[in-house]
């Protein structure tokens, strides 16, 4: 194989494969005017591509063996320019338009989902026999019982950390017994419900999205629909119901452990249990416990619901399931914080 720079004449060797073509391609490119292919015996797909390429570029090819020429024949009508990819407008307006239409579609999906879910849930409330209770209990176990350790640890450690961190500054004012107020109110009103809901979003919201998303990709959802089984009743209701029942229980449990964590630290710092208990009883009212628990019901519905919604929105292909799972967790956490802010405003207004 050798290339004469001056005359633009390329003399090929006996073999032209991907390795040789890699070296030749950029060196020779558009400068070949004549190819002497007489020594060429074997040629792979890349070699054929090179010959085709220089030929279409206007070079003459001589001495090509008939069997190799035959291999080239199917490509006689291949256009030089690649076929147009499906048109895609990448200007600012195009991108804005796509983003807007995506937001619009997403909103429409959510409204439809909420509406359909409400109708189905009401129908199930009227005749509870329609609910798949067996599935519900299994899901509740996976979302609830299996989450006890992680939700408990997160809450316990948060309580302990808060007590540690706040005891030093409060001690400077000689009011370190008020650490109990701080830890108990923060955990019961905000942190307990929120952290439990975040744990649920990470563990179960993602699992719901992945499970339903995989079913969507495998056309199992279509199979349900054509069997006359609504996915909403079969898949979504048991999951949302499980989230609704399990989250408050987990929250109460997390609240207990969080406050206990604060107590442990305070006792280690030398406070007697009874002093802490009296402080707790005087600091915490029924409304403080209520606000956290009420919120947790809503968080449970939201996290489970958005997990199912993202699962049902899954597109095609393996990567779509990953996208749905991520969206389930992100939307779940976002909704938790958003709804918590709304609750804060409501509770402030009614002075709970």
Partner 1 sequence: MVKPIIEVFDLTAAYGDFVLLDKVTFDVRRGEVFVILGGSGCGKSTLMKHLIGLLRPAAGRILIDGGDINNASGQERADLLKKFGVMYQSGALFGSLTLEENVMLPMEEFTKLPPEARRLVARMKLSLVGLERFSGHFPSEVSGGMQKRAAIARAMALDPEVLFLDEPSAGLDPVTSAGLDELILRLNKNLGVTFVIVSHELASIYAVADRVIMLDQTKKGILAEGAPGELRDHDSNPFVHAFFHRETAEVAG
Residues 110-139 that bind partner 1 (CB under 8 A): none
Q: Which is nearer to partner 1, 18 or 157 (CB)?
A: 18
d(CA 310, CA 326) in angstroms, rounded, equals 9
Residues 279-318 that bind partner 1 (CB under 8 A): 315-318
Rule CB under 8 A: choose which of 283, 320, 330, 339 binds partner 1: 320
User: Mutual orientation of helices 133-143 and 237-268 as an angle, nearest 10°?
Assistant: 30
CB of 57 to partner 1, least distance (A): 12
CB of 55 to partner 1, least distance (A): 12
Contact 50, 24 (CB under 8 A): yes
Residues 7-25: b if buried by 16+ CB within 10 A, e if exposed: ebbbbbeeebeeebbeebe
Q: Which is nearer to partner 1, 6 or 77 (CB)?
A: 77
Note whether 74 binds partner 1 by CB under 8 A: yes
Q: Which is nearer to partner 1, 85 or 92 (CB)?
A: 85
Label each residue of 208-259 as H, E or C: HHHHHHHHHHCCHHHHHHHCCCCHHHHHHHHHHHHHHHHHHHHHHHHHHHHH
* Size, binding site for partner 1 by CB under 8 A: 32
Please tell me whether residue 165 adopts helix, strand or coil conformation: helix
Please tell me whether residue 284 adopts helix, strand or coil conformation: coil
CB of 76 to partner 1, least distance (A): 10
Note whether 71 binds partner 1 by CB under 8 A: yes
Contacts 24+ apart (CB under 8 A), 60-67: 60/33, 60/34, 60/35, 61/34, 61/35, 61/37, 62/34, 62/35, 62/36, 62/37, 62/38, 63/36, 63/37, 63/38, 63/39, 64/37, 64/40, 65/37, 65/40, 65/41
Rule CB under 8 A: choose which of 66, 82, 174, 228 binds partner 1: 82
CB of 83 to partner 1, least distance (A): 5
* Sign of the torsion angle spanned by Cα atoms 284, 184, 265, 163: negative
CB of 213 to partner 1, least distance (A): 13
Note whether 45 binds partner 1 by CB under 8 A: yes
Q: Which is nearer to partner 1, 209 or 250 (CB)?
A: 209
Q: Which is nearer to partner 1, 17 or 146 (CB)?
A: 17
Q: Which is nearer to partner 1, 72 or 182 (CB)?
A: 72
Q: Which is nearer to partner 1, 45 or 97 (CB)?
A: 45
Note whether 52 binds partner 1 by CB under 8 A: yes
Element (H, E) at 206: helix 206-217
Q: Which is nearer to partner 1, 70 or 342 (CB)?
A: 70
Residues in the chain: 352
Bridge pairing between strands 42-43 and 60-62: unpaired
Rule CB under 8 A: choose which of 4, 13, 14, 22 binds partner 1: 22
Note whether 90 binds partner 1 by CB under 8 A: no
Note whether 49 binds partner 1 by CB under 8 A: yes
Ordered strands of the 9-11 beta sheet: 2-4, 9-11, 34-36, 60-62
Per CB under 8 A, residues contacting partner 1 are 18-19, 21-23, 25-26, 44-46, 48-50, 52-53, 70-71, 74-75, 78-79, 82-86, 315-320
């Amino acid at each position: 194989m050798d290339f004469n720079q001056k005359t633009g004449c390329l003399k090929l060797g006996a073999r032209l494969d991907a390795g040789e073509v890699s070296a030749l391609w950029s060196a020779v490119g558009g400068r070949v005017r004549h190819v002497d292919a007489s020594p060429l015996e074997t040629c792979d797909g890349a070699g054929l591509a090179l010959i085709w390429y220089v030929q279409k570029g206007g070079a003459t090819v001589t001495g090509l063996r008939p069997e190799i020429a035959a291999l080239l024949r199917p490509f006689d009508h291949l256009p030089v320019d690649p076929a147009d990819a499906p048109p895609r407008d990448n200007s600012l307006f195009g991108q804005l338009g796509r983003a807007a239409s995506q937001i619009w579609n997403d909103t429409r999906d959510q409204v439809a989902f909420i509406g359909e879910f409400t109708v189905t849930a009401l129908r199930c409330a009227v005749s509870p026999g329609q609910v798949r209770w067996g599935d519900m209990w299994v899901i509740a176990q996976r979302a609830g019982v299996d989450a006890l350790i992680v939700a408990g640890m997160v809450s316990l450690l948060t309580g302990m950390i808060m007590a540690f961190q706040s005891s030093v500054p409060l001690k400077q004012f000689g009011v370190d017994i008020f650490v109990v107020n701080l830890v108990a109110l923060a955990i019961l009103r905000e942190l307990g419900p929120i952290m439990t809901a975040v744990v649920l979003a990470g563990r179960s919201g993602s699992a719901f999205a992945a499970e339903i998303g995989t079913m969507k990709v495998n056309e199992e959802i279509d199979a349900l629909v054509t069997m006359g089984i609504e996915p909403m009743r079969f898949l979504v209701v048991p999951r949302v119901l499980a989230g609704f029942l399990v989250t408050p229980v987990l929250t109460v449990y997390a609240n207990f452990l969080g406050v206990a964590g604060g107590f442990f630290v305070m006792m280690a710092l030398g406070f007697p249990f009874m002093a802490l208990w009296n402080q707790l009883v005087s600091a915490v009212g029924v409304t403080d416990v209520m606000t956290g628990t009420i919120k947790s019901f809503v968080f449970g519905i939201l996290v489970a619901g958005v997990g199912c919604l993202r699962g049902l929105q899954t597109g095609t292909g393996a990567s779509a399931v990953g996208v749905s799972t991520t969206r389930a967790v992100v939307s779940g956490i976002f909704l938790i914080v958003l709804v918590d802010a709304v609750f804060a405003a409501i509770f402030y207004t009614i002075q709970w």
